[in-house]
């Protein structure tokens, strides 16, 4: 039988230990905080979500790929070269005019890193993780996404066994756009399900 670790309660959290390590490395001149912050921001908002946007744009323009993506997300995503830790088992669900999927990880912050990059701070926030399960329509409205009462909202809870990725609805007016032209329209928030893809006016 495993005995409890008596010192666990007195040890700092992993976040505090990480912050202390970063501060130590910065003080010794081994890490430039500006460079580190820039790298993290780039991976959080550009590199990772760009991969997911490429997956969606291909699914919108290639019906055969879309079918493979919805049938076996992980292998279809790997076809495009996006794989790695936190991407071992990704299930893709499609939003429609009558069904809207939104993702969460109620236990921690499981997230499909290869296609979305680092999870945003709000995704890890306990308030989002708890409330989106209980009152998804209200939470989405607070985040700027108003859905009609005729739209069913399905909350997908990610875990270490499965990570969810939303295939957003393709917006009207994009029928003649190429895959490359569609990519910049697709945001991380749309891939999580807290926003829709919009066409700039």
Query: Phi, psi at residue 154, to the nearest 5°?
Result: -115, 120
What pLDDT sits at residue 43?
59
- Residues annotated as catalytic are 105, 108-110
Which class for 31: exposed (0-12), middle (13-18), buried (19 or more C-beta within 10 A)?
middle
Q: Is the pLDDT of residue 10 over 70?
A: no
Q: Is the pLDDT of residue 127 over 80?
A: yes
What pLDDT sits at residue 39?
58
pLDDT tens digits, one per residue of 149-174: 999 999 999 998 999 999 999 999 99
The domain ranges of the chain are 14-192
DSSP H stretches of helix in the chain: 14-27, 33-42, 48-61, 63-71, 73-79, 113-116, 121-124, 126-134, 136-142, 179-182, 188-192
What pLDDT sits at residue 17?
73
- Residue 104 in tokens: 């969460």
Superfamily of domain 14-192: Nitrile hydratase alpha /Thiocyanate hydrolase gamma (3.90.330.10)
pLDDT band at 3 (very low <50, low <70, confident <90, very high): very low
């Amino acid at each position: 039988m495993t005995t409890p670790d008596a010192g666990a309660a007195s040890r700092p959290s992993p976040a505090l230990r990480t912050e202390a390590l970063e501060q130590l490395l910065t003080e010794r001149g081994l890490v430039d905080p500006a460079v580190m912050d820039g790298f993290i921001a780039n991976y959080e908002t550009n590199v990772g979500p760009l991969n997911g946007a490429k997956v969606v744009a291909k699914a919108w323009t290639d019906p055969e790929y879309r079918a493979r993506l919805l049938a076996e997300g992980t292998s279809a995503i790997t076809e495009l070269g996006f794989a790695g830790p936190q991407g071992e088992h990704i299930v893709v669900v499609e939003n429609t005019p009558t069904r809207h999927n939104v993702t969460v990880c109620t236990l921690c912050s499981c997230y499909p890193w290869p296609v979305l990059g680092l999870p945003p701070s709000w995704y890890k926030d306990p308030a989002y993780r708890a409330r989106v399960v209980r009152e998804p329509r209200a939470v989405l409205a607070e985040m700027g996404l108003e859905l009609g009462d005729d739209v069913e909202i399905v909350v997908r809870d990610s875990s270490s066994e499965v990570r969810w990725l939303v295939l957003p609805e393709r917006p009207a007016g994009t029928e003649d756009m190429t895959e490359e032209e569609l990519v910049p329209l697709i945001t991380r928030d749309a891939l999580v399900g807290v926003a829709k893809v919009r066409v700039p006016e």
